[in-house]
Amino acid sequence: MTAIDTSPTTAAPAPGTPLRGTTPTSSDLSGSPLSGTVLATPPTAELHLHVEGTLEPELVFALADRNDVDLPFASVDELRAAYSFGSLQEFLDLYYACTAVLQTAQDFRDLAWAYLERAHAQGLRHVEMFFDPQAHTSRDVDVDEVVDGLTQALDEARERFGITGGLILCFLRHLPVGDAAATLESVAHRASDLIGVGLDSSEVGFPPAAFARVFDRARALGLHVVAHAGEEGPPSYVTDALDLLHVERVDHGVRSLEDDALVARLVADRVPLTVCPLSNLRLAVVSDLTEHPLPRMLEAGLLVTVNSDDPAYFGGYVGDNYEALRDVLGLDDDALALLATNSVEASFADAGRKAELTAEVRAWREARRTA
């Protein structure tokens, strides 16, 4: 077995300790990017991040070696070249194929830890991490292995970096609704280890309505609810997610701009939209980043946040997305600070943690003014 050196330098809490956006101690905050050089992008929460989508080619090969998995690629470079696609479905095909290397709690811990280290260096302060258990249980990986590994990494990040956050279990909408219901029941005994549920995978042809009862059950378990809608699917999917799933956040939602009444509703109700600019470019939601609707969404008064979605595949982590908004769309520090503040407001962190994170964003903005 090949060892993968992704261990932190400090001891971590036991796996399974729930993270529900609680405020860390002052010593935890020593890992904040603001403790040293001021970053070019603001401290932020990330609310739209698929942990399986952080699987870099090098880690794919390392885990394949650890678990004796044969890959259809001869080298890291060949696999990296395959990280090129023209549609959501092409991306998903590769995404699910690479998950074959994830088999044990240690694998999931190493996956999440690699993301957390990298994103921390770009200003990550809070993360609400999506994971797709059906992509793993279909390969006979026990869901407890998945949750244990991811939770361990989050606990370590809180201890070492002061990053707070938790897990959002996502249902694969292209699979039967009964599978989603069974998946939820399989983790009901661990509801305290989750902060919410979501809905992802192929959007077109799989409207939210079918999952209404599953989402009702999730809310009964005390979980928050979010859903992907309005990325490739029509604005009506956003409306259905609000009316039938009763979501608290909409993931993507960029096509909401096509419906003026929907925009007015989203603005009035302060419904957050977790937008992923570089993802939208790579999946051809926009043909050029200069055409991205995010500036218009801000002008309309929408509660927009910036996220990386599947950064290993889309060429950018959360800070890279902020940088792209500055470099390509011309957003200034005030706009970036607004987006970061939006991410805090839209998070499921508690009030105390939100106040701390908001103060960090304000401090970043002031430091940038005086730098």
Among 52, 203, 231, 360, the active-site one is 231
The structure tokens listed for 356 are: 């701390």
Residue 14 has what DSSP assignment?
A: P
**Quick one: three-class SS letters along 295-333?**
HHHHHCCCEEEECCECHHHHCCCHHHHHHHHHHCCCCCH
Measured CA to CA, the distance from residue 268 to residue 232 in angstroms comes to 24
Dihedral sign, Cα of residue 175, residue 16, residue 350, residue 122: negative
Q: Which contacts of 11-14 are long-range, i.e. CB under 8 A and separated by 24 or more positions?
A: 11/159, 12/152, 12/155, 12/156, 12/159, 12/160, 13/155, 13/158, 13/159, 14/155
User: CB 370: neighbour CB atoms within 10 A?
Assistant: 6
Measured CA to CA, the distance from residue 74 to residue 235 in angstroms comes to 42
Is 231 labeled as catalytic in the residue annotation?
A: yes
Measured CA to CA, the distance from residue 197 to residue 221 in angstroms comes to 10
Q: Where are the beta strands (DSSP E) in the chain?
A: 44-50, 124-131, 164-172, 196-200, 224-229, 249-252, 272-275, 303-306
Backbone angles phi, psi at 251, to 5 degrees: -90, 125
Catalytic positions, written as ranges: 231
